[in-house]
Each structure stands twice: as structure tokens, then as C-alpha cells.
């Protein structure tokens, strides 16, 4: 039985690697390190099917280092130690400094499993490359994370995905026996969910399941073929992201019934309990915020609780939290405020901090006027006096605009009275 198309097309050289130019392009942050063979321990973070495993293999090939691999799904502490011992024996037999240990889905490693890597990474017995679809700040222990560089891999663009299909048509020996016309590609791209591996495997299914050697790819053909092979192709990629999207949008739309339905779909599908809880935590701030500050506390308590107890009981806590957030007042004002503030910073650059609010720990700084005329709020009635805290170039800029809900309406009136026209509330 032949390998899947995605495996047959896996590039082995850096020049054949598609996309991620911010990392491996001419000015990519990782390219020079790869070419020089000076590879740090690193974490590759990105969505499924964007080339994390492929890039790890290419790094090992380009640097001419022995390559060991583990999957966090089916490896324990014993497996980690065995591989490290094997890697230590390889060290010195090659011209390069040390072997590379690649761990796929490193976010699934427990704390003890990650702890077992620390000594080997610190002493240079191995160079660790971890791949993860989850934020390493949450899933990788701080001691290990501090010893690794984190590189973010971006989702493939439509152009990247189409280039992959054309590469498959041109270079794959099995597909070469077919006459393939790409008449329509919208369904193919949509069903792939941006996952290159899934895209190529769906494409191979569509082509090779036809009774003729002349295949015209249309949206109808793609939909028909994929529906008949749901089990094979509908496991993690699109379902994972589409259902969490439906879940979040149901809560944002204040529909507790839809929220618990999509929650049940994720639970029955074996979704990681921490993934669900983390998304609730983000939503509590992004979509509810100061309309109901308690929402963030509930979501944080939920994250802590479900992390501690796990399934099956965690489903009850997740349900309670989802319903609470769905029925809460909503506001994205804090989310919009930080977006506006970051955009302002990008437009205006590093503006000087006003002298009055600079820190003045030395005599020289005081002599230069640092802290002059600073008004200590607690020295004034109601612990407030109008002062300028923004740089002159952007003073009076309104970034936080309270939302249209009971609590933030009260905040708006409070701020209007407090600042008395300084900001346009």
C-alpha cells in the first residue's frame, strides 16, 4: 500500500518548503540558524497541517544531525529517558554538536514528562524541537519554555494551498497517470480547513476514487466524495475549529441552548477539556468584559476546576460556565480598546513618557525634571484630579469607549463627570 499523498509530497530540503517566509525566507529569523547548523532548542507553534513536523525533519537534515522522534500521545517518561540515553550515545559520533529530539504534540506531555526533558536540554545532550497546536505559554512548563525559542507558524493562505495542489499534480507519480482539471476549488479549500495534510489527502481521494483517468474537480464532486468518506476525513481538523467556533459564537450570541449543544459535541468527540476551558476564559474577557467582571472569575475558576478533576465530571462544570457566560450581559469594549491602543502605538511609534509621570529614583533624574508637577491622586478630593498621562502627540485620545450595557453605561456617566469633557464619552 502506497503512502498517503501528503507523505509522498513531504519536502526534504529547505528550498522546497512552502510558505512560512517569515521564518525560512531570505530574511527569515530561522533560516540563518539552520544554514549554520546553530540550532537552539525550539517550539514550533501553529495550527494543524502547516508543516511543523516537516520543518523539524528539514532542520535535522540541513544541520546533518541524528534525529529522534517521540509522539506525546503514546510516550511516557520511560520512553523519554530511553530516547535521551540513545541520543547521548550518538553524541560525538557525528560532526554536529548533538542530536535533535522532536516531540510531536508536546502540549500533551504532563509536567513530569516535561520535567524529564530538562536535564538533557540544559546539558546539551539533545536539541529539543517541540511541535504544538496550543499556546506554549499555557501548555509548556516555564522551566522548559525558558530554554526554548518559540517560533509561530502561520496558517496557509489560499495561494499556498492552491500551490500545494498544483505541486501534487506536477510531481506525484500516482497522480501523474491522471488528467486532472481544477475547474472549481472552493469546496476543496473549505473542507481542508487550512490543513495542508488534510487538503492533499482529500484531493487524492477525489482523484483516485474516480472510474476514469480524466478527472474534472468541481465543488459538487468534492462535496459528494467527502460526504461518503466522513469517517476518514472528519476527525480533528475542520471539526475541531468549526465546532469551537460555533460554541463561541453561540455564547457570544446569548444562546445557552446552542452553547450546551456544541459543548456536548466537543465532549462526545473527546475534545481536550483544557482547550474548551481556555476558550471560555478568553471569551469571558473578550465578549463580556466589564459588562460583568464576575464572568472572568467564573471562567478562571472553571479552568482550574476542570484541569484538576478532568472528565467525566468536568462536563458539568463546563456546562455551568457556558450557560452563565451565554446568559451574561455582553461587551467587547475592553477588546476594542486594546486593539485601538496597539494600532495607535504602531502608527505613532515610541513616544516619550511625559516628564511629570516619569520615575525619578536618582538625583540626576530629579534635576532633569523627572516627576515634576506630578499630582498624587490621593492628595485630592475623591482621590482624583485631572492630569495628563498620555504623550502630548496623542493626548485626549479616546481608546476605551464603554459598551451599551447597564454596568458600562454607569461607567460612562462616571467617567464623563470625572473628566468633565477631556475625553469625548
pLDDT single digits (tens) 323-358: 999 999 999 999 999 999 999 998 888 888 888 888
Convert 107-131 into a string of H (helix), E (strand) and C (coil).
HHCCHHHHHHHHHHHHCCCCEEEEE
Mean pLDDT across 171-181: 90
The whole-number pLDDT of residue 227 equals 67
Residue 373 near residue 366 (C-beta atoms within 8 A): no
pLDDT band at 235; cut points 50, 70, 90: very low
Residue 84 near residue 126 (C-beta atoms within 8 A): yes
Question: Average pLDDT, whole number, for the chain?
Answer: 86
Rounded Cα–Cα distance for residues 48 and 194 (Å): 8
Q: Which helix (H) or strand (E) holds 79?
A: helix 77-90
Residue 120 near residue 45 (C-beta atoms within 8 A): no
Exposed/middle/buried for residue 272 (C-beta within 10 Å: 0-12, 13-18, 19+): middle
Query: Who has greater pLDDT, 359 or 97?
Result: 359
Rounded Cα–Cα distance for residues 404 and 56 (Å): 49
Q: Closest Cα to residue 197, out of 54, 72, 43?
A: 54
- Domains with residue ranges and CATH for the chain: 20-152 (3.40.50.300), 158-233 (1.10.8), 237-326 (1.20.272.10), 353-419 (1.10.3710)
Residue 36: pLDDT over 90: no
DSSP 235: S
Cell 500545494, residue located: 164
Whether the full predicted model's pTM is greater than 0.85, yes or no, is no
* Model pLDDT for residues 389-409, shown as the tens digit of each residue: 889 899 889 999 898 889 999
Residue 237 near residue 222 (C-beta atoms within 8 A): no
**Backbone Cα Rg of the chain:** 27
Mean pLDDT across 290-310: 94
Highest mean pLDDT among 142-156, 225-239, 283-297: 283-297
Would strands 42-45 and 214-217 be described as parallel, antiparallel, or unpaired? unpaired
pLDDT band at 228; cut points 50, 70, 90: low
117, three cell numbers: 526533558
The whole-number pLDDT of residue 283 equals 95
Rounded Cα–Cα distance for residues 275 and 244 (Å): 9
Beta carbons within 8 Å of 385's beta carbon, 6+ residues apart: 375, 377, 379
Q: At what angle do helices 237-252 and 314-326 cross, to 10 degrees?
A: 50
Q: What are phi and psi of 177, to 5 degrees?
A: -80, 0
The whole-number pLDDT of residue 37 equals 75
* Model pLDDT for residues 119-133, shown as the tens digit of each residue: 888 888 889 999 998
Residue 289 near residue 333 (C-beta atoms within 8 A): yes
In percent, the amount of the chain with pLDDT more than 90 equals 35
Beta carbons within 8 Å of 2's beta carbon, 6+ residues apart: 8, 174
CA distances for 275 relative to 258, 260, 267, 271, 370, angstroms: 19, 16, 11, 7, 46
Q: At what angle do helices 256-268 and 314-326 cross, to 10 degrees?
A: 150
The whole-number pLDDT of residue 248 equals 94
pLDDT band at 230; cut points 50, 70, 90: very low
Q: Which helix (H) or strand (E) holds 32?
A: helix 31-36
Q: Which helix (H) or strand (E) holds 102?
A: strand 100-104
129 CA to centre of own chain: 17
Residue 211: pLDDT over 70: yes
314, three cell numbers: 468536568
The whole-number pLDDT of residue 231 equals 37
DSSP 40: P
Strands (E), 133-255: 149-152, 179-182, 214-217
In percent, the amount of the chain with pLDDT more than 70 equals 94
* Model pLDDT for residues 195-210, shown as the tens digit of each residue: 888 899 899 989 988 8
Mean pLDDT across 257-286: 90
Task: DSSP for 239-290, please give it.
Answer: HHHHHHHHHHHHHHTT-HHHHHHHHHHHHHTT--HHHHHHHHHHHIIIIIGG
Cell 476549488, residue located: 185
The whole-number pLDDT of residue 313 equals 92
Mean pLDDT across 211-238: 69
Amino acid at each position: 500500500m502506497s503512502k498517503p499523498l501528503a507523505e509522498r509530497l513531504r519536502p526534504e530540503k529547505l528550498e522546497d518548503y512552502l510558505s512560512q517566509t517569515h521564518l525560512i525566507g531570505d530574511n527569515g529569523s530561522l533560516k540563518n540558524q539552520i544554514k549554520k547548523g546553530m540550532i537552539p532548542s525550539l517550539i514550533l507553534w501553529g495550527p494543524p497541517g502547516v508543516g511543523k513536523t516537516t520543518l523539524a525533519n528539514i532542520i535535522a537534515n540541513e544541520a546533518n544531525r541524528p534525529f529522534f522522534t517521540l509522539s506525546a500521545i503514546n510516550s511516557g517518561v520511560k520512553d523519554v529517558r530511553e530516547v535521551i540515553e540513545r541520543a547521548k550515545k550518538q553524541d560525538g559520533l557525528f560532526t554536529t554538536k548533538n542530536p535533535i529530539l522532536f516531540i510531536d504534540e508536546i502540549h500533551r506531555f504532563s509536567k513530569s514528562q516535561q520535567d524529564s526533558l530538562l536535564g538533557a536540554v540544559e546539558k546539551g545532550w539533545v536539541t529539543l524541537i517541540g511541535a504544538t497546536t496550543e499556546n506554549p505559554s499555557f501548555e509548556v512548563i516555564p522551566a522548559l519554555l525558558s530554554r526554548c525559542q518559540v517560533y509561530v507558524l502561520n496558517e496557509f493562505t489560499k495561494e499556498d494551498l492552491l500551490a500545494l495542489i498544483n505541486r501534487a499534480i506536477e510531481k506525484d507519480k500516482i497522480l501523474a497517470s491522471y488528467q486532472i482539471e481544477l475547474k472549481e476549488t472552493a469546496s476543496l479549500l473549505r473542507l481542508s480547513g487550512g490543513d495542508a495534510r488534510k487538503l492533499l489527502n482529500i484531493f487524492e481521494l477525489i482523484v483516485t476514487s474516480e472510474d476514469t483517468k480524466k478527472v474534472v474537480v468541481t465543488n459538487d464532486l468534492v462535496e459528494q466524495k467527502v460526504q461518503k468518506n466522513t469517517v476518514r476525513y472528519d476527525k480533528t481538523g475542520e471539526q475541531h475549529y468549526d465546532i469551537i467556533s460555533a460554541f463561541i459564537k453561540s455564547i457570544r450570541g446569548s444562546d445557552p441552548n446552542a452553547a450546551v449543544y456544541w459543548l456536548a459535541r466537543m465532549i462526545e468527540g473527546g475534545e481536550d477539556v483544557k482547550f474548551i476551558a481556555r476558550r471560555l476564559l478568553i471569551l469571558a474577557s473578550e465578549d463580556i468584559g466589564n459588562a460583568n467582571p464576575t464572568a472572568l472569575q467564573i471562567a478562571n475558576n472553571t479552568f482550574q476546576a476542570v484541569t484538576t478533576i478532568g472528565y467525566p465530571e468536568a462536563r458539568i462544570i463546563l456546562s455551568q460556565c457556558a450557560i452563565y457566560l451565554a446568559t451574561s450581559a455582553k461587551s467587547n469594549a475592553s477588546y476594542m480598546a486594546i486593539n485601538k491602543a496597539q494600532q495607535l502605538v504602531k502608527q505613532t511609534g515610541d513616544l516619550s513618557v511625559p516628564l511629570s509621570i516619569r520615575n525619578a529614583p536618582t538625583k540626576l533624574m530629579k534635576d532633569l525634571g523627572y516627576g515634576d508637577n506630578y499630582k498624587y491622586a490621593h492628595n485630592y478630593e475623591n482621590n482624583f484630579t485631572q492630569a495628563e498621562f498620555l504623550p502630548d502627540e496623542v493626548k485626549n485620545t479616546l481608546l476605551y469607549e464603554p459598551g451599551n450595557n447597564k454596568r458600562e453605561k454607569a461607567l460612562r456617566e462616571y467617567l464623563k463627570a470625572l473628566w468633565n469633557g477631556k475625553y469625548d464619552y
